[in-house]
Amino acid sequence: MIRNTVIALAIAASFAAPAHAQLGKLKGLVGGATATEASAAGAPDEAAQDALVRRFVASQSHSLAAQTSFAKAFGLAEQVQLLEAERQALSSGAVDVSKMKKSVSVSEAAQAAIDERVAAQPELSAESKQYYTDGLVSLLASAAEGQKLSGEANNFASGMKNLGPAQLATVGRKLVAGAWVAKESPGYLKGLYDTSKSALTFARASKIKVPGNADSMLDGLN
Residue 38 contacts residue 26 (beta carbons within 8 Å): no
- 178 pLDDT above the threshold of 90: yes
Q: How far apart are CA 2 and CA 55, in angstroms?
A: 27
Predicted confidence at residue 3, as pLDDT, reads 46
Segment 154-166, tens digit of pLDDT: 999 999 888 788 8
**pLDDT over threshold 80, residue 10:** no
Collapsing DSSP states into helix, strand and coil, what is residue 65?
A: helix
Residue range 196-221: mean pLDDT, rounded: 91
Least confident segment among 92-96, 111-115, 169-173, 198-202: 169-173
Q: How confident is the model at residue 40 (pLDDT cuts 50, 70, 90)?
A: very low
User: Of 46, 49, 181, 41, nearest to 104 (Cα)?
Assistant: 181
pLDDT for 32 equals 39
pLDDT in tens, 112-155: 999 999 999 999 999 999 999 999 999 999 999 999 999 999 99
Contact of 197 with 218, CB cutoff 8 Å: yes
- Please say if the pLDDT value at position 62 is more than 60: yes
Amino acid occupying residue 158? S
Provide mean pLDDT across the span 164-179: 83
| Number of neighbouring beta carbons within 10 Å of residue 44 | 24
CB distance 73 to 132 below 8 Å: yes
Q: How far apart are the first and last CA of the chain?
A: 38
Average pLDDT over residues 66-93: 96
Question: Percentage of the chain surpassing pLDDT 70?
Answer: 81
Considering the chain, what is the average pLDDT of its residues?
A: 84
Phi and psi torsions of 71, nearest 5°? -65, -40
Q: 43: pLDDT confidence band, cut at 50, 70 and 90?
A: confident
Q: How confident is the model at residue 41 (pLDDT cuts 50, 70, 90)?
A: low
Does the structure show a pLDDT above 50 at 6? no
DSSP annotation string for 84-151: HHHHHHHTSS---HHHHHHHHHHHHHHHHHHHHHHHT-PPPPHHHHHHHHHHHHHHHHHHHHHHHHHH
Hey, is 17 helix, strand or coil?
Answer: coil
- For 2-7, what is the mean pLDDT? 43
Q: Which of 20, 12, 52, 17 is nearest to 167 (CA)?
A: 12
